[in-house]
Amino acid sequence: MDLETLTSAMYDFVESKGWLADDSPKRQTQRNLAISLVLEASEVLELFQWSEEAESPDELADELADVMLYLLQLSSLSDIDLGEAVMTKLGKNYARDWSPDSQSERDTETSASSQPRA
């Protein structure tokens, strides 16, 4: 199934619940969707607490679907073509140096750049 079909089905559901209305108590803002995305991702993680595998593949599928639904909605609301964003990010990742020495250098640079300047 393609992302366009999934996004359309997601919007059909959200619309059916009235969550797109301006007066909805569950306003579909970028902030609210980002928070919900992280909360759902935490529910995926919870399935692995104290275990190397999820006990229930069905529960895992449900939680992964929740994550994807929020991701689709957030990307759509943000005018981001998720498929294109994934391919662009993969291109950046292919070009990235993943060696341990490179990571140490990036950590040092990040740490130095986050220090307050006098």
**In this predicted model, what pLDDT tens digit does every residue of 63-83 receive, in sequence order?**
999 999 999 999 999 999 999
- Span 13-60, pLDDT tens digits: 999 999 999 899 999 999 999 999 999 999 999 999 999 999 999 999
Is 90 exceeded by the pLDDT of residue 89?
yes
- 73 in the same domain as 26: yes
- pTM of this prediction? 0.81
Same-domain check for residues 1 and 52: yes
For 22-39, b/e burial (b = at least 16 CB within 10 A) is eeeeeebeeebbeebbee
Same domain as 71, residue 47: yes
90's tokens: 């993969």
Burial class (CB in 10 A: 0-12, 13-18, 19+), 60: middle
Domain of residue 97 covers: 81-113
Q: Are residues 73 and 100 in the same domain?
A: no
Confidence band of 111 (pLDDT split at 50, 70, 90): low
